[in-house]
């Protein structure tokens, strides 16, 4: 692993054993990307990879007889106005009214390790030896502005991280209109674009489309999160790439606000990928001496298909993004009371539910919405973080101690960024919500967005909720966010500062997370946003798990968890067993399938166990015992393999394999049952082909070698599926190295 600079050819080569990334300083001082892909051996001169020729309707950007033009050049960070008629990564408004810029190379720095980009979250190194960083310093003479492009390559991963910083040194201010985190170009367009898209209760469905000339993009412009509609991620895969083979390039943005992920194919078949903050609603005025820092983009290269790309993201985000006491730790098995009681509960009822949870082996009880202010429904009370003593006469402090006396840890739900107008907070500070004076203030879920771009608002919420936490015994916090931003305007910002509001809002969220996680490092935070509307890498920096979706139906969760696994590790996916009929789908699925789905995540329950039969309660106890035995393998140590896609057939399958290949757990799910159906073979992945395994599926136990399990497969017992419920039935296989 390393970064080499070849002085004679002005070429940088970032490389490790799996990936190479090559940058060249062109004769006009701008940067060109010569190559990004599978690792190639270094050489002094890569300039032969640069291609140029005189073409009609192109503008030459160097003196004659040169023919260099930006329209047909693979630029490293394209800007506006110098002959490139594709979308730029950077645009700016200057005091003169001009927009043309020309950032040229000045110097560079290469060093081991990786610097933080506080206050933005980012991937980090545990030691300087893990990675090597290149900083490229560019300058625009007319504006007197510096641009710093930063690249980090990791030793053990085919990963390159990128971000940009703009430092203004000129006397006259400038206004940034678009500052992307990265741009990279490919010589051809022979790709399919993969994205994760959906809506509430169907987040992160896998969508694929062939690239064509023109722009193909996904975006989030809701202000408070990346959104349920599109995740801040895209991948480009070769048409022949599958889960297990072929070239794939992944692009993931470590950011929780408005984003743009875009591919643009030119009429010369060149493909440009850009990722960063969405320019819509964004403008950032820089005075002399001020700097703007973009979020970080994480690029992953795989020559072994989509599954390899995902495994790299999983390992990197577990080891080099999540932080604190819960980093790479198995999660406690919890029970949340929301679908059991909604707002209608008393302390007695809560303790009754918690006691039954303890009997089943659950480790953590979580009290959801309705414990504060006048919060008996979702029309009122939000923002008043004072305990409702009519429901909880001894407060959260007393309830948390009573729950701990039962032998459980205690967790609490909050929604700190929102307010109901029917609340003491709003009545005291009506100017603290996002909204344009004189215009109608749109509402969502009967609530409004607090202006977290203002420090005094964040300070107030911090003092309110930290007081509750200090007085109580809280081990877990579920941080919810249930609406998007409308009428984006801050009453605390000047007219020329309004373009900063949405980014500053996200920085305010990060600030509050930072304060709370630093003061209470032992607490496990789980991010939530009407389910999965804020499932992004930046959240994992503060909260190492996220509620994957409000849709807890086991069959629907197959698609949601399958798509989420493209980028995010299993340990980050909040997944619960809920009651039937399901509260979102109104469908009944077998209890065994609900557990078999929830195992591949954090695992917990979202129901009142007192309402189950004795037989069902026995199953729950067995499920809890199973998860305790295997959660370290599933959540931390194992590699995840997707085997059958719910988007392509009636069956879904996946598995987790230990690093030493001696243990594995595989799950097979069917959606609808079939009559007089054909045979099915379940082929596994990731095993040691020479290892003898003992395979256990319910009461059936047999032995087979890894090669047989991967190439011939396991015959699926349709009678067993029928006994397990038929529709929405599942099978769980536990593999262990057999004694010989």
CA dist 151 and 114 (Å) reads 9
Structure tokens of 438? 């004189």
Pairing of strands 700-705, 692-697: antiparallel
- Pairwise CA distance, residues 709 & 142, whole Å: 65
Helix (H) or strand (E) holding 5: strand 2-6
Beta strand extents in 117-269 (DSSP E only): 131-140, 145-154, 159-168, 174-186, 192-197, 205-210, 214-220, 230-237, 248-254, 259-265
CA 552 vs. chain centroid, Å, equals 19
Q: Dihedral sign, CA of 103, 162, 563, 688?
A: positive
Nearest Cα residue to 271 out of 207, 150, 183, 196: 183
Distance CA 464, CA 486 (A): 25
The tokens for 170 are 């000129």
Report CA-CA distances (Å) from 576 to 344, 561, 645, 701: 21, 12, 21, 28
On whether the CB atoms of residues 516 and 524 are closer than 8 A, the answer is no
Q: Would you state the structure tokens that stand for residue 581, as one six-digit string? A: 């009929």
Given the residues 550, 551, 553, 608, the one annotated as active site: 550
CA distance 61 to 68: 6
Are 731 and 699 in contact by the 8 Å Cβ rule? The answer is no
Give the Cα separation of 652 and 592 in Å (integer).
Answer: 15
Q: Which of 480, 536, 551, 608 is catalytic?
A: 480
In whole angstroms, give the CA distance from residue 444 to residue 224: 13
Residue 626: how many other CB atoms lie within 10 Å: 17
Beta-carbon contacts of residue 613 (< 8 Å; ≥ 6 apart) = none
The reply to whether 480 belongs to the active site is yes
- DSSP conformation class of 446: T
The continuous run of DSSP H or E covering 231 comes out as strand 230-237
Asked whether the beta carbons of 78 and 272 are under 8 A apart, the reply is yes
CA 295 to chain centre: 13
550 is catalytic: yes
Q: How far apart, in whole angstroms, are the C-alpha atoms of residue 667 and residue 649? A: 15
- List, as one string, the DSSP characters of 542-595: H-SEEE--S---HHHHHHHHHHHTTTS-GGGEE-EEE-SS-TTT-----HHHHH
> Active-site residue numbers?
480, 550
């Amino acid at each position: 692993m390393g970064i080499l600079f070849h002085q004679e050819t002005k070429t940088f080569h970032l490389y490790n054993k799996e990936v190479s990334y090559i940058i060249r300083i062109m004769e006009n001082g701008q940067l060109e990307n010569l190559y990004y892909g599978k690792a190639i051996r270094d050489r002094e001169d890569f300039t032969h990879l640069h291609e140029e020729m005189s073409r009609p309707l192109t503008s030459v950007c160097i003196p004659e007889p040169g023919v260099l033009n930006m329209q047909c050049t693979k630029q490293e960070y394209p800007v506006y106005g110098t002959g490139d008629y594709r979308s730029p990564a950077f645009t700016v408004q200057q005091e003169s009214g001009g927009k043309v810029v020309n950032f040229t190379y000045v110097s560079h720095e290469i060093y081991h390790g990786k610097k933080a980009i506080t206050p933005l979250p980012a991937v980090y190194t545990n030691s300087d030896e893990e990675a090597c960083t290149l900083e490229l310093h560019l300058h625009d003479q007319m504006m007197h502005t510096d641009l710093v492009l930063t690249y980090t390559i990791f030793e053990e991963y085919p990963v390159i991280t990128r971000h940009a910083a703009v430092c203004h040194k000129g006397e006259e201010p400038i206004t940034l209109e678009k500052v992307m985190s990265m741009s990279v170009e490919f010589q051809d367009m022979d790709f399919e674009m993969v994205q994760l898209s959906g809506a509430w209760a169907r987040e992160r469905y896998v969508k694929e489309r062939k690239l064509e000339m023109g722009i193909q993009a996904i975006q989030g412009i809701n202000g408070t999160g990346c959104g349920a509609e599109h995740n801040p991620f895209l991948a480009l895969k070769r048409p022949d790439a599958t889960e297990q083979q072929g070239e794939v390039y992944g692009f993931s943005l470590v950011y929780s606000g408005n984003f743009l992920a875009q591919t643009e194919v030119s009429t010369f078949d060149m493909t440009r990928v850009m990722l960063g903050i969405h320019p819509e609603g964004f403008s950032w005025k820089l005075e002399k001496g001020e700097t703007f820092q973009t979020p970080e983009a994480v690029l992953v290269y795989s020559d072994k298909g989509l599954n390899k790309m995902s495994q790299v993201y999983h390992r990197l985000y577990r080891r080099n993004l999540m932080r604190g006491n819960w980093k790479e730790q198995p999660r406690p098995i919890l029970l949340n009371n929301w679908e059991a009681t909604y707002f209608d509960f008393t302390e007695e009822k809560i303790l009754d539910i918690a006691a039954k949870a303890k009997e089943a082996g659950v480790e953590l009880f979580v009290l959801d919405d309705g414990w504060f202010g006048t919060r008996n429904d979702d029309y009122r009370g939000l923002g008043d973080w004072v305990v409702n003593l009519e429901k909880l006469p001894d407060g959260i402090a007393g309830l948390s101690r009573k729950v701990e006396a039962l032998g459980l840890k205690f967790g609490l739900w909050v929604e700190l960024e929102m307010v109901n107008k029917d609340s003491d907070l709003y009545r005291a500070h009506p100017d603290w919500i996002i909204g344009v004076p004189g215009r109608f203030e749109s509402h969502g879920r009967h609530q409004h967005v607090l202006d977290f771009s203002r420090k005094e608002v964040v300070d107030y919420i911090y003092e309110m909720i930290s007081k509750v936490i200090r007085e109580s015994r809280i081990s877990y916090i579920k941080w919810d966010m249930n609406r998007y931003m409308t009428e984006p305007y801050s009453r605390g910002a000047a007219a020329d500062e309004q373009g900063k509001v949405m980014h500053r809002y996200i920085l305010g969220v990060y600030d509050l997370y930072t304060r709370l996680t630093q003061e209470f490092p032992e607490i496990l935070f789980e991010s939530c946003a009407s389910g999965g509307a804020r499932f992004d890498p930046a959240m994992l920096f503060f909260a190492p798990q996220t509620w994957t979706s409000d849709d807890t139906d086991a069959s629907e969760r197959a698609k949601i968890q399958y798509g989420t696994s493209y980028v995010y590790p299993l340990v980050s996916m909040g997944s619960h067993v809920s009651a039937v009929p399901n509260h979102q789908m109104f469908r009944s699925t077998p209890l065994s399938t609900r557990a078999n789905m929830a195992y591949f995540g954090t695992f917990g329950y979202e129901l009142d166990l007192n309402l189950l039969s004795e037989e069902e309660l026995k199953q729950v106890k067995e499920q809890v015992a199973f998860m305790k035995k295997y959660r370290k393998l599933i959540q931390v140590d194992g590699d995840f393999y997707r085997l059958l896609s719910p988007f392509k057939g009636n069956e879904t399958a996946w598995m987790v394999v230990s690093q030493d290949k001696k243990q594995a757990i595989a799950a097979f799910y069917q959606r609808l049952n079939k009559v007089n159906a054909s045979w099915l073979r379940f082929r596994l992945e990731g095993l040691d082909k020479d290892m003898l395994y003992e395979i256990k599926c319910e009461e059936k136990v047999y032995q087979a070698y890894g090669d047989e399990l991967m190439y011939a497969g396991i015959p699926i017992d349709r009678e067993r599926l029928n006994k397990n419920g038929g529709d929405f039935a599942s099978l769980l296989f536990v593999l262990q190295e057999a004694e010989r």
